[in-house]
Every structure is written in structure tokens, then in C-alpha cells.
Amino acid sequence: MTAKKSLADFIHAARAEVPEVDCETVQGWLEMGDDVLIVDVRQARDYEAGRLPGAVHAPRDHLEALADPNYLRSHPELARAHSRRVLLYCDSGTRSLLAARTLRDMGFLEVYNLSGGYHVWEAEDLPTHSGPPDTTSEG
């Protein structure tokens, strides 16, 4: 019989596999123009209320489908990002940590989680965008 796992067990396992980066590191990537796909895994209302610059939206509850290039309605940029640097975030960093582990399981090679999530990004008064996505600049 397999032992039951708790949320804490899943978080602990994900932390062992997924590197977490701080806001300063991400800001450096953005300032240097590094090739990084930033993925917001929150719900649409949160994404539209405020997000990291250039972030694409892939809600956690649809992530596997959106990241699968064989799925008819996959996200065009995310589904092709298996060899790109991918940064995920949510409000606090927990959902995105679990989502990042899922992407690693799906064969994504370089996946990171934003430590502390959007709340920390916003608290540090870093640049954000709001409103519906601009399809010309945010994919």
C-alpha cells in the first residue's frame, strides 16, 4: 500500500527538483534581454489585474494541455519552449512551483520558479503590466 502524500510532500519534492530564483535575478534577465519565457499560472482575473512584463498566460488548471504541442489548443509559444528558459510564477510561488515540476516531467529542460511569486515582485515595486494581453508584444 502506498503512503498518502500531503501538499507539503509535493512541495518538498518540487523544491528538490525546480530551481527558484528571486526577483533581482529575473529583473536582470529582463534588463539583459535574455531569452526567457515568463508564464503566469494564475487565473485570468489575476493575470489581467497585474503581471510581469511580457508574461504569457497559462492557468495552472490547463497547463499540461497548453504545454503539449500535440494538443489541438496548446499555447503556441509555451508548447514550443521545451529548450528555452521558462520562468513560472503565481501569487505566492507555490502553485507555480508545482507547475514547474510538471513542465520538467513533460520534458522542459530549463524551468524556474519565481520565489515568493507576484506578491513579492509587486512588493519590490518592480514593473508590471495590466489589462488584457497585448498580442503584439506578449504572445
Q: What is the Cα–Cα distance from 58 to 4, expressed in whole angstroms?
A: 29
Active-site annotation holds for 23? no
3-class state of residue 127 by DSSP: coil
How far apart, in whole angstroms, are the C-alpha atoms of residue 52 and residue 73? Answer: 24
Active-site residue among 37, 55, 90, 98?
A: 90
Assigned C-alpha cell, 87: 520562468
What secondary structure does DSSP assign to 50-115, as a single string?
Answer: -B-TT-EE--GGGHHHHH-TTSTT--TTGGG-TTSEEEEE-SSSHHHHHHHHHHHHTT-SEEEEET
List phi, psi (to 5°) of 15. -65, -30
Catalytic residues: 90
